[in-house]
Amino acid sequence: MGASVGLAAKRAGVDWVGGHDPDAAAAEAAAERGAIDGAGPLAEILAEADLAVVAAPVTVLPALVEEVIAAAPDRCTVTDVGSTKDWTLGLPERFVGGHPVCGREARGAAHATADLFDGATWFLTPVTATDPDRYRLVHGFVASLGAVPVAIDPRAHDRLVAITSHLPHALANLLVNQAGAGRIEGHDPLAAAGGSLRDMTRVAGANPRIWVDIFLDNAPELGEALAEHRRRVEQLEQALAEGDGGYLARWVAEASENRRRMLAEAYPDPGELQHVTVHVPDRPGVLAGITQALGAERINVEDFELRHFSTERGGVLTVLVSGADEAARAAALLEAQGYGVSVSPVLDA
């Protein structure tokens, strides 16, 4: 993520971005990628710095932040991009904790992008001791990268990400491992996996070098989230055992409304969102042709997802379009090109 910060900062017009990494090859890769203008020893890089952004695995981040604070001149404000924040309590007033809620499955400077933070929430965790001017500096820097800075208490931050990030990752691993643990009358559940399982396990198996540390570092908060999840699973089990259709109906309706609220954060009118599902063959140029065709008709694609089945069967491209009329136009255009297409609302009315 550090290289992406550098690229975004260069895009935002920062005159000079220096970098330090104990791995010389990593620093060299960041320089070749254009993420930094120069690399060197920590004290040397910090000597003229106004702002230091510390990006490192959560297990070494607290010690590294303290090292940076000690080596940096007093005028230099220090922030970080760590996914847990409880450890930041008690740090000097010139430190402002930060956590951009975004990322990529691939790591390293080769995969860094300047637009990684565009529209992303970037939590900032000031405390009573935080210097207001330094907070404003970090706030402005984060906004200049295209992110949306949001202030939150450090402890509240860790409880929040336990529910919104760490719990989903844990459950994705649980689900795919449960499905892969055995056979049912000789059938492999993973071979028969449908869209629901694929959607819910997209993040399963994510980089263990990162996620083992995150799980352990935020273990108390994740443990509380899992305990609440267990309580809700037990409620569902009881409703099933008792044949309580009323509970199940209310439960599904509550989930529908909560999902609508979640989508409303990303889209102005989630009720207008339509899935345009296209069966596509496995051959070069198909996806480019579809997106170019939709673009030529000025049909705005809000998002898309490709599910690949096999070389022989091809896959399914799901395009997210806002508005029933726009979805119908997209479907008609693609059907005219010979594709099998179906349209369905993202949310039930």
pLDDT for res 105: 59
Q: Is the confidence at residue 117, as pLDDT, over 90?
A: yes
Q: 110 with 166, same domain?
A: no
Listed in sequence order, the residues at least 6 apart from 117 whose beta carbon sits closer than 8 Å to its beta carbon are 4, 5, 8, 100, 102, 142, 145, 146, 147
Q: 143 with 163, same domain?
A: no
**Over the stretch 255-266, which tens digit does the pLDDT of each residue have?**
999 999 999 988
Instruction: Provide the pLDDT confidence category of residue 311 given band limits of 50, 70 and 90.
Output: confident
pLDDT for res 349: 61
Q: 78 with 182, same domain?
A: no
**Over the stretch 269-306, which tens digit does the pLDDT of each residue have?**
888 999 999 999 999 999 999 999 999 999 999 988 88
| Among candidate residues 226, 242, 258, the one where a domain is terminated | 242
Three-state secondary structure readout of 98-127: EEECCCCCCCCHHHCCCCCCCCCEEEEECC
Q: 323 with 226, same domain?
A: no
Greater model confidence, 51 or 307: 51
**Over the stretch 1-24, which tens digit does the pLDDT of each residue have?**
889 999 999 999 999 999 999 989
pLDDT for res 8: 96
Instruction: Provide the pLDDT confidence category of residue 155 given band limits of 50, 70 and 90.
Output: very high
**Over the stretch 118-132, which tens digit does the pLDDT of each residue have?**
999 999 999 999 999
| Among candidate residues 119, 152, 185, the one where a domain is terminated | 152
- Number of domains making up the chain: 3
Instruction: Provide the pLDDT confidence category of residue 31 given band limits of 50, 70 and 90.
Output: very high
On whether residue 64 sits in a domain, the answer given is: yes
Greater model confidence, 266 or 46: 46
Q: Is the confidence at residue 104, as pLDDT, over 70?
A: no
Q: Is the confidence at residue 185, as pLDDT, over 70?
A: yes
Q: 11 with 85, same domain?
A: yes
Q: 140 with 32, same domain?
A: yes
Residue numbers of the domain that contains 323: 270-345
Q: 111 with 138, same domain?
A: yes
On whether residue 256 sits in a domain, the answer given is: no
Q: 100 with 201, same domain?
A: no
On whether residue 255 sits in a domain, the answer given is: no
Q: 137 with 10, same domain?
A: yes
pLDDT for res 306: 87
> The domain spanning residue 308 has which CATH number?
3.30.70.260
pLDDT for res 198: 87
On whether residue 261 sits in a domain, the answer given is: no
Q: Is the confidence at residue 109, as pLDDT, over 90?
A: no
Three-state secondary structure readout of the chain: CHHHHHHHHHHCCCCCCEECCCCHHHHHHHHHHCCCCEECCHHHHHCCCCEEEECCCCCCHHHHHHHHHHHCCCCCEEEECCCCCHHHCCCCCCEEEEEECCCCCCCCHHHCCCCCCCCCEEEEECCCCCCHHHHHHHHHHHHHCCCEEEECCHHHHHHHHHHHHHHHHHHHHHHHHHHCCCCECCECCCCCCCHHHHHHCCCCCCCHHHHHHHHHHCHHHHHHHHHHHHHHHHHHHHHHHHCCHHHHHHHHHHHHHHHHHHHHCCCCCHHHEEEEEEEECCCCCHHHHHHHHHHHCCCCEEEEEEEEEECCCEEEEEEEEECHHHHHHHHHHHHHCCCEEEEEECCCC
On whether residue 138 sits in a domain, the answer given is: yes
| Among candidate residues 134, 152, 170, the one where a domain is terminated | 152
Greater model confidence, 1 or 115: 115
pLDDT for res 313: 86
**Over the stretch 324-348, which tens digit does the pLDDT of each residue have?**
999 999 999 999 999 999 999 998 7
Instruction: Provide the pLDDT confidence category of residue 205 given band limits of 50, 70 and 90.
Output: very high
On whether residue 259 sits in a domain, the answer given is: no
On whether residue 8 sits in a domain, the answer given is: yes
> The domain spanning residue 201 has which CATH number?
1.10.3660.10
Reduced to 3 states, what is the DSSP secondary structure of residue 312?
coil
On whether residue 55 sits in a domain, the answer given is: yes
Instruction: Provide the pLDDT confidence category of residue 267 given band limits of 50, 70 and 90.
Output: confident
Q: 208 with 293, same domain?
A: no
Distance CA 38, CA 238 (A): 61
Q: 14 with 103, same domain?
A: yes
Q: State the chain's mean pLDDT as an integer.
A: 93
Q: 46 with 102, same domain?
A: yes
**Over the stretch 158-184, which tens digit does the pLDDT of each residue have?**
999 999 999 999 999 999 999 999 999
> The domain spanning residue 41 has which CATH number?
3.40.50.720
Quick check: 114 and 4 in contact, CB under 8 A? yes
Q: Is the confidence at residue 107, as pLDDT, over 80?
A: no
